[in-house]
Amino acid sequence: LVTLIVFIIPIMKGEDAFLEYYKQQTIVTDGEWDNFQTSIHQPLPASFVVVEQYAGGAGKRLLAQLESGRYQDLSCLDWYPNRLAWHATTPRVSWSDDFKQFLKAQTEMGTIIRQEVVSMIPVLLLTDNSLPANPSFLDICAAPGSKTAQLAQVLRQRSSDDSGVIVANDCNANRASMLMSRLKCSGSAALVVTRCDAAEFPANQLFDRVLCDVPCSGDGTIRKAPKLLSNWKPTSASALHAQQLKIAKRAFRLTKPGGRMVYSTCSFNPIENEAVVLALLHEFGDQIRVLENSQLLKGLHRSPGLTHWEVLAANGPDTAFTAYESREEAKRTKHGGQCPDTLFPVGQRLSELSHCMRLLPHHNNAGGFFVALLERRDIISVERAFADLPSVSDPKFRGDSLFPFVPILSAKNGREITECITQSMNLLDSFPMKSIFFRDHGDDDAHDGQNHGRRARLYMLSPMAARFAQYYTTTSNLMHAGVRIFERCSRPDGVDMEFRLSWEGLNHVIPHISLKEMMLSMSLASLTPLLSGKPMPISSEIAMLSCTNDENAYRGNIIVECELDNITVQLPGRLSARSIQLLSPARALDAMSLMIK
């Protein structure tokens, strides 16, 4: 039972309140306090992760350029595996136009994931060597999607066919749409996007790994959003605590026995952090433990979790904070906000909280963050754990489930379509056609082969993603699944190409192409004008490579290849008797143009 007690006078807030509150919480030692206080007023450096497995070799090319020192404003984060994470070493005001253009273009292309340094950590803790084959991930509060994109990269590193599944959820329609847009560049066939209340997330099975990055007061992001400091007030955390705990409990119940969950916030406040973890320890008893992680991510500076904190309130705008020992004491003194028993540091398991990780702004020249790596011990079976999962009510939020994903092989004219795809792409029998789906809009006659109907876009879903997509269709929560891989097209130039390869699905198709004439290698000089995205006349080099003067020469889908500093870059395109064109989004071509300068 949560007791609500309402303030009747203004409360203490702003920077003075922030500093006094956290000084009393001793989130930093006395010797560090000045560094902490100075750091919160400094601008936050930009940072990102390189998507090394990005379609067509563009990620590898970008990484090579960064290592060569092309951009002097950037430095590698040595604690991040494989030197994939970088951050700016100069303030934004001193960035060159070239560097600004680079960041914008690579972000839009998807070769980099713009992400705060500290928010990179949860995924790294979840994806160590203990990760099982074909893992299932749940990112229960996923928007804006940077951590989900990290997960997609981990799956791609482990398996070229994205074996496994990543379920990314958000309850807000706008944030879920933003999430889908951001993840489009991931090219992951394992992706399933849902829209539902995280505290009542439905499931047909449990997950190997769960990421629970809950909504929070966000005061760890003050360096990025300075206005938060002037508006800061002590009751923000206690107002969120109950909902955070509710989401965390559901997330842990969705974790398989033997699996792991990360609970994280971008808040300094122990009310949102250690207090929630302690409540989980009390709720789940022997089933849960906090894993020690000080030996992970060598070079990352951190502090241990707190094993004691104060429940503080101020009874006026100019009064000092008062510490309360219990909800009853707070109620007697008319403490404002919400004050459940779980706010207080009591119980037998407080010492385990030191295994949590606190990241402060002066530690890594980054933001503030809290991370707890939790294990669900396998003292009960997966079947028992699933049977004990509380049922949920009808969904408050609905996705786009009116249009389910259907296997193309089960469509009315599925065999005809798959034969057309095989011919258009010159595919080997090894291509997993059973993994190709379309969204069924329920209008069987809408597509007559002459226009863009319901099967104009085809998607690849991993086997696990297909099963999850089917389930979340039945719960009305599905928003999106898989990666767009083929698109129907009609061309006035007579090219026999009913389907074309979608840029996002490039990596999934290239290993299965049978016709060597589809792979068109060319020099940088020939590639450069094609990056405009417009149909270009056939140059003498391309004519020689493609034998376009031969009336029996190949016409249709092609993969354009160009070797840049010993790295082969590949882009989808089309070839006719008179012209050649790259078929990639303008943002991808713009980013590639910058990359080859």
Positions marked active-site: 266
Say how far apart CA 584 and CA 567 lie, in whole Å: 19
For residue 529 the two structure tokens come to 């004008």
Annotation-wise, does 511 bind a ligand? Answer: no
Annotation-wise, does 318 bind a ligand? Answer: no
Say how far apart CA 140 and CA 134 lie, in whole Å: 19
CB 444 within 8 A of CB 160: no
Annotation-wise, does 143 bind a ligand? Answer: yes
Query: Residue 494 gets which letter from DSSP?
Result: -
Annotation-wise, does 146 bind a ligand? Answer: yes
What DSSP letter does each residue of 383-431 carry, written as one string? HHHHHTSPP--S-SS--STTS-EEEGGGSTTHHHHHHHHHHHHTB-TTS
Which of 399, 451, 367 is CA-nearest to residue 179? 399
Say how far apart CA 86 and CA 115 lie, in whole Å: 10
Strand, coil or helix: 528 = helix
Amino acid at 582: L
Annotation-wise, does 442 bind a ligand? Answer: no
Sign of the Cα torsion 209, 214, 463, 190 reads negative
CB 307 within 8 A of CB 275: no
CB 546 within 8 A of CB 575: yes
Annotation-wise, does 147 bind a ligand? Answer: yes
| In the block, residue with structure tokens 């599905």 | 478
Say how far apart CA 461 and CA 354 lie, in whole Å: 41
What DSSP letter does each residue of 323-361 carry, written as one string? EESSHHHHHHTT--EE--GGGS--SS-GGGGGGSEEE-H
Annotation-wise, does 448 bind a ligand? Answer: no
Annotation-wise, does 76 bind a ligand? Answer: no
Strands 165-169 and 191-194: parallel
Annotation-wise, does 213 bind a ligand? Answer: yes
Note the helical H segments in 68-185: 97-109, 121-126, 146-158, 173-183
Annotation-wise, does 576 bind a ligand? Answer: no
Output the known binding site for S-adenosyl-L-methionine: 141-147, 170, 197, 213
Output the known binding site: 141-147, 170, 197, 213
